[in-house]
């Protein structure tokens, strides 16, 4: 009996290994010092509105936006990357920011190994890649900016199933889980 018990961990070992490989949730070392989470289908959006400055930061696995995470080599892949990039370059449309707020883009920063502007870490065949987009806008009448509509983002990138939104607005801090069915996030 005792021998059997001793053998138990070894019997279970393949299970643990198989699980580790299935799990896309595990952490990877990216360009930064710490390990960031990477979960396909889930993106992160941080939005902060203070005075008339609006800052948005979208962090998403490349899988959600272009459908693959390796550097684009074929023409079809390159076209997909270019199309995603074009969408991401128009934050006013992508986040359906109210026209009445009179927001203007001040700065934009798109970063991803797929765009060739972030170092691809390691030669691991199992490597994941993220796309990070940062925007800074100034709004003439920030009072009119009451919500962000992620409906278009979900429609443009159908592989995105959930966006964890963190908001800081005039009413304080808020955490919301946006889904295609509940895409409007209020400040």
Partner 1 sequence: MYLLRLALASLANRRFTALLTAFAIALSVCLLLAVERVRTEARASFASTISGTDLIVGARSGSVNLLLYSVFRIGNATNNIRWDSYEHYAKDPRVKWAIPISLGDSHRGYRVMGTSADYFSHYQFGRRQHLALDQGRAFADDPFEVVLGAEVAEALHYKLGDKLVLAHGVAAISLVKHDDKPFTVVGVLERTGTPVDRTLHISLAGMEAIHIDWHNGVPARGAGRISAEQARAMDLQPTAITAFMLGLNSKIATFSLQREINEYRAEPLLAILPGVALQELWSLMGTAEQALFVVSLFVVLTGLIGMLTAILTSLNERRREMAILRSVGARPWHIAGLLVLEALALALSGIAAGLGLLYACIALAQGYVQANYGLYLPLAWPSAHEWTLLAIILGAALLMGSVPAWRAYRQSLADGLSIHL
Part of the chain binding partner 1 (CB under 8 A), chosen from 32-40, 60-68, 71-79, 106-114: 32-40
Find the DSSP H helices in 29-127.
Answer: 62-66, 75-88, 91-94
Is residue 119 close enough to count as binding partner 1 by CB under 8 A?
no
Is residue 151 within a helix (H) or strand (E), and if so which, with residue range?
helix 151-156
Is residue 55 close enough to count as binding partner 1 by CB under 8 A?
yes
CA distances from 44 to 40, 64, 82 (A): 11, 11, 21
Beta bridge partners of 36: 28
Question: What is the Cα–Cα distance from 132 to 118, expressed in whole angstroms?
Answer: 10
Q: Which is nearer to partner 1, 123 or 172 (CB)?
A: 172
Residue choice 50, 106, 109, 186 for contact with partner 1 (CB under 8 A)? 50
CB of 53 to partner 1, least distance (A): 6
Is residue 123 close enough to count as binding partner 1 by CB under 8 A?
no
The site that binds partner 1 (CB under 8 A) totals a number of residues, namely 18
Residue choice 53, 71, 96, 121 for contact with partner 1 (CB under 8 A)? 53
Give the DSSP per-residue string, 74-88: SHHHHHHHHHHHHHH
Residue choice 144, 166, 180, 183 for contact with partner 1 (CB under 8 A)? 166
- Check if the beta carbon of residue 172 is closer than 8 Å to that of residue 84: no
Q: Which residue has the tokens 């870490």?
A: 121
| Residues engaged in binding partner 1 (CB under 8 A) | 32-34, 46, 48-51, 53, 55, 57, 166, 168, 172-176
């Amino acid at each position: 009996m005792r021998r059997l018990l001793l053998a138990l961990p070894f019997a279970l070992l393949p299970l643990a290994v198989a699980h580790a490989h299935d799990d896309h949730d595990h952490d990877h070392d990216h360009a930064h010092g710490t390990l960031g989470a990477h979960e396909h289908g889930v993106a992160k959006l941080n939005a902060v509105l203070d005075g008339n400055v609006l800052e948005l930061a979208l962090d998403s696995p490349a899988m959600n936006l272009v459908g693959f995470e390796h550097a684009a080599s074929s023409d079809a892949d390159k076209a997909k990357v270019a199309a995603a990039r074009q969408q991401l370059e128009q934050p006013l449309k992508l986040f359906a920011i109210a026209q009445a707020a009179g927001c203007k883009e001040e700065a934009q920063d798109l970063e991803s190994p797929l765009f060739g502007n972030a170092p691809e870490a390691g030669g691991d065949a199992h490597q994941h890649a993220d796309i990070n987009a940062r925007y800074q806008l100034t709004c003439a009448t920030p009072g009119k900016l009451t919500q962000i509509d992620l409906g278009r983002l979900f429609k443009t990138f159908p592989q995105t199933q959930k966006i964890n939104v963190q908001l800081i607005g005039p009413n304080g801090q808020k955490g919301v889980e946006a889904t295609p069915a509940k895409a409007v996030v209020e400040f």
